[in-house]
Amino acid sequence: MPDAKNIPLNERIIFALDFSNPREALSWVKKLDGHVKFFKVGLQLFLAGWWNVVEAIIKRGNKVMVDLKFFDIPETVHSAIQQLKNKGITFATIHGNDPIIEAAVKGKNGLKILAVTVLTSFDETDMKEMGFTGTIEDLVLIRSQKAINLGCDGVVSSGKEAFALREKFGSNFIIVTPGIRPGINRDVIGDDDQKRIATAKEAFADGADYVVIGRPIKNSDDPIKTIKQIQTEIKEGLIAF
């Protein structure tokens, strides 16, 4: 399938600002300036910096994914999504059943809503312990089908499921893939809490649009060099796709 979304290479990586200090987070935004133009603000940073940090990132000409995984009664989720209006945010994440998804979509007003399928820190053993039957891929496909049908703009899913998602649902929705590790560290997990991992090349070859990456860049001796290596993987993956 051809890539028709025309996403700039420096927006393909969403750098995860997983910091508890807003000043440290913004120092990383400046450090990566130009090489990465898309940043994830999750629970940790949002609670530490609230809207100030989001606004500071956007004022530098960057995009923001607010990854708060809204999950509550539908009216509360709808009201929460309303709070994101006119903030310049590109993506927001939600999680939940049909009424929750419908409530989020109803209030999005130009914001792109992404449904979280199954966290990349879960594997088959975790799912069985929670009482789920079938495979993770089965659950991801079921949840994605509902999200797309109800009007979500895309899903958050591991690279392991990207190919099946594209094969079943086509290209008219967004796939954002966390759990990405550079090719040289593909099988070295150590104390990493991500279980369903992939390289950027694998993810894009299977149909991902964006990858969320934090620690492999943050912990690198040369973050810019690491970003360039990952972007090379992305280009190779897009060609293969």
The per-residue pLDDT for range 192-233, each reduced to its tens digit, is: 555 557 899 999 999 999 999 999 999 999 999 999 999 999
Contact by Cβ (8 Å): 92, 40: no
Q: Which is higher by pLDDT, 18 or 135?
A: 18
| 118 pLDDT higher than 50 | yes
pLDDT tens string 142-185: 999 999 999 999 999 988 889 999 999 999 999 999 988 876 44
Beta strands in the chain (DSSP E): 13-16, 38-42, 63-70, 91-94, 112-116, 154-156, 174-177, 210-213
Please give the torsion angle defined by the CA atoms of residues 64, 50, 79 and 77, in that order, rounded to the nearest 10 degrees.
70
Using one digit for the tens of pLDDT, what is the confidence trace for 16-56? 999 999 999 999 999 999 999 999 999 999 999 889 999 99
Considering the entire predicted model, what is its pTM? Answer: 0.88
Which domains are assigned to the chain? Answer: 9-240 (3.20.20.70)
Given the residues 30, 40, 69, 108, select the one marked as catalytic. 69
Q: Does 201 participate in catalysis according to the annotation? A: no
Q: Which residues fall within 8 angstroms of residue 147, CB to CB, at 6 or more apart?
A: 101, 115, 117, 155
**pLDDT class of 131 with cuts at 50, 70, 90:** low
